[in-house]
Structure 1
Amino acid sequence: MDSIKAVYIHIPFCKQICHYCNFVKYFYMENKADDYVEALIHEIDCSISGYNVHVNTIYMGGGTPTALNIKQLKRLFNFLDRKFNLDTCKEFTIEINPGDIDQEKAKLLSSYGVNRVSFGVQVMDDEMLREIGRMHCVKDVYETVNILTENKFHNISLDLIYALPNQTVAHFEKTLNDALQFGLPHYSTYALQIEPKTVFFHKQNKGQLQRPPEDAEVEMYRILQQEMKIRGIEQYEISNFAKPGFESKHNLTYWNNDYYYGFGAGAHGYIPGKRVSNLKPLGMYMRSAKEDGSAIEEIDEITIKDQIEEELFLQLRKTSGINNKMFQKKYGLSLEQLYANELQELLEQGLLSLKDGNYRLTDRGMLLGDRVFSKFLMMQSFDDKIIQLES
């Protein structure tokens, strides 16, 4: 377990539930949040032995972690400061919502070594923010950036969602340009996905959701790539753009298929040979974490076949792609030995490129990523070649 150097901590509380969100989340209630923090602390303490433990990254997501009040945040951060060596932690990220942080909370986060903030703006338009169920307005975005910069936060990431209901290409271009005026070092941008059990999912089923046409979504993505490039903000993953040196170290843990702990209700972790997921219902999670020091609901054993397939579709999300020599060193067979026909077909279709031993998605491949990834899951002769790996 010494090889695990990344920690994800889930805070499931929100003050309002967005219409598109399917993450594990609950309305904030102070007494519930008090109990949750204690259960979370017990889970982490029982899962990782010792104190002053060295990790490279900590990512606190949600939900909205800053929905917690000052007392709750202090309780949690005091524990984390004892459990982990925050001085040597390279990246400590927390997610916030615009308007959800004030000077007191910003100073608290800074004092405990939080050095990266990711905040969900989604769109720079008050009317559309209301339509997607967001609490904040555009002026809150400006105020939040000011508070963060005043408190010496330099590594700030801003999230946008595009292809929103009734959104035109021109509207997206304006909201993108407004967001880029902040000159932040990192931007995450996602096309809207309609997830089960969300408000948008029920509206879509009733024929009440007007999505932009597919060609408009493609054009939004093209504009996104173009505008980022003009400003020297480099694309390093399908949905992520950063100035050099500001790429998310924690998220690269996921895309590099490296190990990480996951703590909190509904959190996922990846430990040697296993992917684990925690209980989602708040009461069940807290009861199990408090009584047993663990809240694992499911453990999936990862076979070599699983690991290789995950390696492909995670690594290919990065613009750097997957390196053939590194792959062969890790698994004992080259990509061509496993996927010769699939790779050739994707190269001929212009969905992959090959340069200096690196297979990468082309611009077109990024638009059709699911089609590319599915090729590596459908391979007919995979099992025979895996026998060679395991023997």
Structure 2
Amino acid sequence: MRKSLYIHVPFCEQICHYCDFNKFFLQNQPVDEYLDLCMEEMEKTVKTHPQTELIETIYIGGGTPTALSTEQLKRLLEAVPKYFQLTDQVEWTVEVNPGSADREKFEMMKNAGVNRLSIGAQTFDPELLKTINRDHGTGEAEHTVKLAQESGIPNLSIDMMFGLPGQTMKQWKDSLQKAAELDISHISAYSLKIEPKTVFYQMWNKGRLQLPEQELEAEMYTYMLTFLKKHGFTAYEISNFSKHGLESMHNLAYWNNDEYYGIGAGAHSYVDGMRNRNHGPLPKYMKAVKNEELPYLEKHKVTKEEKMEEEMFMGLRKRLGVSKEQFYRRYNRGIEEVFPGVVEHLKNKLLLQEMDDRIMLTEEGLLLGNEVFEKFLFTAEEI
């Protein structure tokens, strides 16, 4: 089942200290040629891997898609339905940095079919914005939400981060309060992870990065669960919360272990049982699109064992967990047969629970997700 499309726009006007996504400083980059080659990749992709179902979710991520000019972004958005067949109810998301889009750009996105935005607020604290090197300031996230709504884009998500260097519980509470006061339908909130090839990683290696203690980070997460529930946000995944049933259908496709198309430099795709990764550096990606069938740096045939592992550790991220019936339907084997004793062991540790057909994390399991997930790897030690 392949109903989703991801397109990567790797350009940024400023590089955040925590970001390890494939990205390049916008100035003097061959943006127009890159867009042309993305379209060429779209054409080659659907020829090599024809659609069997209509596209139901599109996600334009980055980088910063809205770092493109209005005309550049319009050209990219209008190319999508030329190469892919979409449902009438497609969920179409574009990532937006606060302050990076004006009314004209929002109205263009709306007219092109975009109906959902993911706004990278990260924090509402002005000092922390400087710490993580964001290029927006106080009030710009709120203004971006207002402009988007006035332009007719109804489904708005805010990205938040906790466990930031020097972040206090009060700062986290204040940021959550400001997010909850906005007229938005979704919040994604992730703890900071120090990734290689980032400024924070270099600082951490030199002992120059003061991070909150693990106990405080866990307290921040626990507080968030209670706070957002009180404000009408339902937790449908470990780090994602929605109002009115407006979950991110695109992200659910990943967590449901469904296949998806991926376009652009460094993009990943999962098509016809293969997980692929595109070349990341712009010159290599652009050369590969011109000279090769598809710009894949890596191709991996996913084994049945890997699919079953992924079904569990991605599916358990969802608050509804994994359906035993669906697992059997996909793999013709039951969870207990494939992972003997694992579920019972984790239930005894109060990390998993069963409700009707589903296996899901407990409240304690939410805090120790990685400990749960690793038990569903075939390379894991015996329990």
TM-score category (smaller protein) = over 0.9
Other structure's SS at 1:340 match: coil
Report the CA distance between 1:292 and its aligned residue: 2.8
Matches within 5 A, 1:1-391: 3-29=1-27, 31-49=29-47, 54-86=54-86, 88-377=88-377, 378-379=379-380
Report the CA distance between 1:380 and its aligned residue: 6.2
Give, in whole Å, the separation in 2 of the partners of 1:38 and 1:185.
Answer: 34
Contact kept in structure 1, 2:266 and 2:279, CA below 8 Å: yes
Report the CA distance between 1:83 and its aligned residue: 2.1
Contact kept in structure 2, 1:94 and 1:117, CA below 8 Å: yes
Give, in whole Å, the separation in 1 of the partners of 2:367 and 2:90.
Answer: 32
Other structure's SS at 1:164 match: coil
- What amino acid does structure 2 have at the position aligned with 1:263? I
Other structure's SS at 1:48 match: helix
Contact kept in structure 1, 2:54 and 2:87, CA below 8 Å: no
Other structure's SS at 1:157 match: strand
Other structure's SS at 1:56 match: strand
Contact kept in structure 1, 2:158 and 2:188, CA below 8 Å: yes
The total of aligned residue pairs comes to 379
Residues 136-163 of structure 1 deviation map (CA, whole Å, 9 limit, x = unaligned) = 0121112101110101111000000001
Report the CA distance between 1:272 and its aligned residue: 2.2
Residues 309-365 of structure 1 deviation map (CA, whole Å, 9 limit, x = unaligned) = 011100000000001121112211211112232111100111001110211011111
- What amino acid does structure 2 have at the position aligned with 1:373? F
Give, in whole Å, the separation in 2 of the partners of 1:44 and 1:297.
Answer: 17
Other structure's SS at 1:141 match: helix
Give, in whole Å, the separation in 1 of the partners of 2:314 and 2:236.
Answer: 13
Give, in whole Å, the separation in 1 of the partners of 2:269 and 2:68.
Answer: 23
Other structure's SS at 1:5 match: strand
- What amino acid does structure 1 have at the position aligned with 2:339? Y
Give, in whole Å, the separation in 1 of the partners of 2:203 and 2:380.
Answer: 37
Other structure's SS at 1:300 match: strand
The alignment yields a C-alpha RMSD, in angstroms, of 1.7
- What amino acid does structure 2 have at the position aligned with 1:131? T
Percent of pairs with identical residues:
41
Structure 2 vs 1, CA of residues 208 and 287 (structure 1 numbering), >3 Å: closer, same or farther?
same
Give, in whole Å, the separation in 1 of the partners of 2:293 and 2:24.
Answer: 22
**Which deviates more, 86-95 or 33-42?**
86-95
Other structure's SS at 2:197 match: coil
- What amino acid does structure 2 have at the position aligned with 1:48? V
Other structure's SS at 1:260 match: strand
Runs of 4+ with deviation above 4 angstroms? 379-382
Gaps of 5+ in 1: 383-391
- What amino acid does structure 1 have at the position aligned with 2:12? C
TM-score by length of 1: 0.94
Give, in whole Å, the separation in 1 of the partners of 2:364 and 2:14.
Answer: 37
Give, in whole Å, the separation in 2 of the partners of 1:182 and 1:355.
Answer: 34
- What amino acid does structure 2 have at the position aligned with 1:5? K
- What amino acid does structure 1 have at the position aligned with 2:37? A
Residues 279-332 of structure 1 deviation map (CA, whole Å, 9 limit, x = unaligned) = 011111011113335211110111111100011100000000001121112211
